[in-house]
Structure 1
Amino acid sequence: MATRFVFRASVTEAGDPALPTALVLHGGGGPRTVAPIVGHLAATRHVLAPTHPGWDGTERPDDLTSVAQLAGDYLELLLSDATEGGVQGEAQGGVTLVGSSIGGWIALEMAVQAASDARFEGLIDAIIVLDAVGVEVAGEPIADFFSLTPRQLAELAWHDADRGFIDPAGLSDQQRTVQAANGRTMAVLAGASMSDPTLIARLDAVTAPALVVWGASDRIVTPTYGRALAEALPNASFVQIADAGHLPHLEAGAVTFEAIDRFLELPR
Structure 2
Amino acid sequence: MTFDLLDTGTGDRTVLVLHGGAGPRGVAPVVEHFAPRARVLAPTHPGWSGTPRPDWCTGVDDLALAYLDLLEDEGLTGVTVVASSFGGWVAAEMAVRDRGQRLGALVLLDAIGPEVDGVPVRMPRPPAGAPGPDPADLAAFRTYAGPGLADPKLLRRLARVRIPALLIWGEDDTVVPPAFGKAYAAAFPDARFEVVPGAGHMPALQAPGATFDLIDEFLD
Taking structure 1 as the reference length, what is the TM-score of the superposition?
0.79
CA deviation string 1:69-89 (max 9, x = no partner): 11000000000001xxxx3x3
| DSSP-derived class of the 1:47 partner | strand
Q: CA deviation at 1:137?
A: 0.7
Give the AA of the match of 2:213. E
Q: CA deviation at 1:98?
A: 1.0
Answer yes or no: is 1:81 the counterpart of 2:54. no
Q: Which of 92, 98, 103 is the aligned partner of 1:108?
A: 92
- 1:87-102 matches, cutoff 5 A: 87=76, 89=77, 94-102=78-86
Give the AA of the match of 2:70. L
Give the AA of the match of 2:59. S
Answer yes or no: is 1:71 the counterpart of 2:64. yes
Q: CA deviation at 1:35?
A: 0.4
| DSSP-derived class of the 1:63 partner | coil
Q: Distance in 2 between matches of 1:60 and 1:166?
A: 27
Give the AA of the match of 1:56. S
Partner of 1:133: 112
Answer yes or no: is 1:14 the counterpart of 2:8. yes
* Greater share of helix: 1
Structure 1 unpaired stretches of 5+: 1-6, 146-151, 155-160, 169-175
Q: Distance in 2 between matches of 1:216 and 1:192?
A: 26
Partner of 1:217: 172
Partner of 1:49: 42
Partner of 2:197: 242
Q: CA deviation at 1:65?
A: 0.5
Instruction: Tell which structure's C-alpha radius of gyration is larger.
Output: 1
CA deviation string 1:47-73 (max 9, x = no partner): 000000000000000000000111000
Answer yes or no: is 1:197 the counterpart of 2:176. no
Q: Distance in 2 between matches of 1:241 and 1:215?
A: 5
CA deviation string 1:209-259 (max 9, x = no partner): 000000000010010000000000000000100000000011100000000
Answer yes or no: is 1:186 the counterpart of 2:141. yes
After TM superposition, the runs of 4+ consecutive aligned structure 1 residues lying more than 6 A away are none
Partner of 2:19: 26
Answer yes or no: is 1:258 the counterpart of 2:210. no
| DSSP-derived class of the 2:125 partner | helix
| DSSP-derived class of the 1:246 partner | coil
Partner of 1:228: 183
Q: Distance in 2 between matches of 1:43 and 1:257?
A: 14
Q: Distance in 2 between matches of 1:167 and 1:67?
A: 26
Structure 2 unpaired stretches of 5+: none
Q: Provide the aligned C-alpha RMSD in A.
A: 1.4
| DSSP-derived class of the 1:68 partner | helix
Identity %: 45
Q: CA deviation at 1:194?
A: 1.3
Give the AA of the match of 1:15. G
Q: CA deviation at 1:191?
A: 1.0
Q: CA deviation at 1:182?
A: 0.4
Q: CA deviation at 1:19?
A: 2.0
Q: Distance in 1 between matches of 2:2 and 2:175?
A: 29
